[in-house]
Amino acid sequence: MCGIIGVLGDHEVAPILVESLKRLEYRGYDSAGIATVHDGNLDRRRAVGKLINLSDVLVREPLRGMAGIGHTRWATHGAATEGNAHPHRSGPVAVVHNGIIENFRELRRELAEDGLAAQTDTDTETVALLTRLYLDRGMSPADAAVATLKRLEGAFALLWLFDGEDDLMIAARKGSPLAIGHGDGEMFVGSDAIALAPMTDRITYLEEGDYAFITRQSLVIRDQADQLVTREEQRIDLGRTRVEKAGYKHFMAKEIAEQPVVIGDALAHYLHADQINLPADLDFAGLDRLTLVACGTGFYACQTAKYWFESLAGIPCEIDVASEFRYREPPMPQKSFALFVSQSGETADTLAALRYCQDRVQKTVAVVNVPSSSMAREADIALSLHAGVEVGVASTKAFTCQLTVLAVMAIKAGLDRGHLTQAQAAEHIATLRALPGVFNAALACSDEIAALSEKLAEAQDILFLGRGPLYPLAMEGALKLKEISYIHAEGYASGELKHGPIALIERTVPVVVFAPYDRLFDKTVSNMQEVMARHGQVLLVSDAKGIAQAGEGTWATLKLPEVAEPFAPILYALPAQLLAYHTAIAKGTDVDQPRNLAKSVTVE
């Protein structure tokens, strides 16, 4: 969600801070600001809206200094206003913060009694006020920050800057990620290594509960027990942090087009010849259950994978939304794996669910796109998506890579449990290996989808239907459309249509039907006929055989290449994405940064 940057440099930092914040724009935000220390004086500039507005402010009111912090805010407490924008300042201290301070109301009341009344609607201001209180009582900046940390409840990544201290930043992490970058006589802090990539490839990640005192020449880290600790310095691949549109109008368009390549990359990593290259201790034999947990698009990937794990491997699967999972306090069979799916590897609800399952199951498995993320570090086994940096808020290539990795896992599970023969597994592997080429061929339908989307853009409600593993894909298609076009859309299992949703069918409601010519095709067509009998406008997405069999009477058809069962959802994700993309273009919405949404959701 929000983005943090901090620099102790040897050049003017305002331009560096703004440029680094631009690299975090993909997270989603509604305001931005920076603070610097110059000749011992702390000052700040803030603006609502995009970073260009902050740049305009800095042109009119320049901010000097070689030490500074910056932030892009996604509103949680209080509206998007300049007053609520970060950095928050109280007297000699400025703070930027990701996360939520859960006990801020209680602290705010105490501070008011001490004469430090809140001036904003935010929880973050409480951190600045509390630190100021301890400074006023004679504490050093370091002691004041630590004393403040002891009073905070919730999840946070925090970065402090102090008046009179041009060679000191203090950072703390609990629940939200924070990385420290090492330079030559310079130091950097970021909520994401992407923000630090232009400045350094040497990164130290703070672990849960850590806080750090940072100068240009030193880094001192203490853990949540206040003990001095050493955290590993890592080298990051700068190529994997590159965020460029490469000639495309939007990041989402670029990332849709990259799918044949990244799916191929994932397959190349996890398939060697006809052998599956997964960790040896990821052994599914003898399991009583597999629990899959995720949020949003990752949840739909898990729902799709449930069909695969149960049909290919015979493993009973439980799927849950991460934000509900741990609060149910579900009993976990000892003979089980818990699998967690997240693009960022920092999704707060999913990370909390992973921690709940530790010591309750045989193995926790993280399927993530960021190998250095919290989930990857804390899980027993971490599997990378190999999707590369995904900037568009609406996930595309990460989703198809999630499906691809989960499909490989399901085939291995089938072999481990004797549910698949080697010949059957080889057939499924061949289907997966063919997907990049099939995807390339299917991308040619983009112009046709753009034309269809002109009509979809006029609708107020759109339904998506699918059966079997295409049912979660229908829900994912509806989610994509909602996210970036703001059209109300819902995905349903085709067979559930007559149990309620059919009441919504009328001439003005387009219905997108995902129906490859498979063993469930005739059932899906029957439901599609129910829609057409009530004057619903059906867009049938199928292959040549399916369209020849059932295309008559539909509003439109969209032909995809044939793909063998059961992995059609991976291919059919493409038209779902393109329908959302082109409909959003037709409506003129912000495709890459849709309103109210954030790329990495690091709060509950």
How are strands ordered across the β-sheet holding 289-294? 317-321, 289-294, 336-342, 363-368, 381-384
- Token representation of residue 246: 């490469």
Interhelix angle 422-442/397-416, nearest 10 degrees: 170
Which residues, other chains included, contact 316 with Cβ-Cβ below 8 Å and sequence gap of 6+? 288, 289, 290, 310
Residues of the chain with confidence (pLDDT) below 50: none
| Separation of CA 173 from chain center | 19
**Per-residue b/e over 504-536, b at no fewer than 16 CB within 10 Å?**
ebeeebbbbbbbbbbebbeebbebbeebbeeeb
Q: Of the candidates 318, 323, 559, which has an alpha carbon nearest to the alpha carbon of residue 441?
A: 559
- Distance (Å, rounded) from C-alpha 470 to C-alpha 477? 10
Active-site amino acid positions:
2, 599
φ and ψ at residue 184, rounded to 5 degrees: -90, 95
Three-state secondary structure of 398-414: HHHHHHHHHHHHHHHHH
Is residue 287 within 8 A of residue 336, CB to CB? The reply is: yes
Peptide bond into 177 cis (omega under 30): no
Interhelix angle 259-270/422-442, nearest 10 degrees: 160
Residue 329 burial (10 A CB sphere; 0-12, 13-18, 19+): exposed
Within 526-574, strands assigned E span 537-542, 556-559
At residue 193, the pLDDT reads 79
The two beta strands, 165-174 and 179-182, are unpaired
At residue 243, the pLDDT reads 67
The dihedral over CA atoms of 69, 74, 21, 194, expressed in degrees to the nearest 10, equals: 110
The two beta strands, 88-90 and 154-162, are unpaired
pTM, 2 dp: 0.79
- Distance (Å, rounded) from C-alpha 284 to C-alpha 263? 24
Is residue 398 within 8 A of residue 390, CB to CB? The reply is: yes
Q: Render pLDDT for 25-78 as a digit per residue (tens, 0 to 9).
A: 776 788 999 999 999 999 999 999 989 999 999 999 999 999 999 999 877 888
Q: Bridge-partner residues for 492, per DSSP? A: 465
- Distance (Å, rounded) from C-alpha 93 to C-alpha 570? 50
Q: Bridge-partner residues for 368, per DSSP? A: 342, 384
Q: Of the candidates 562, 273, 574, which has an alpha carbon nearest to the alpha carbon of residue 429?
A: 273
Is residue 55 within 8 A of residue 34, CB to CB? The reply is: no
Residue 53 burial (10 A CB sphere; 0-12, 13-18, 19+): middle
Q: Of the candidates 361, 382, 365, which has an alpha carbon nearest to the alpha carbon of residue 288?
A: 361
At residue 599, the pLDDT reads 55
Instruction: Spell out the alpha helix ranges (H) of 247-319.
Output: 251-257, 259-270, 296-313
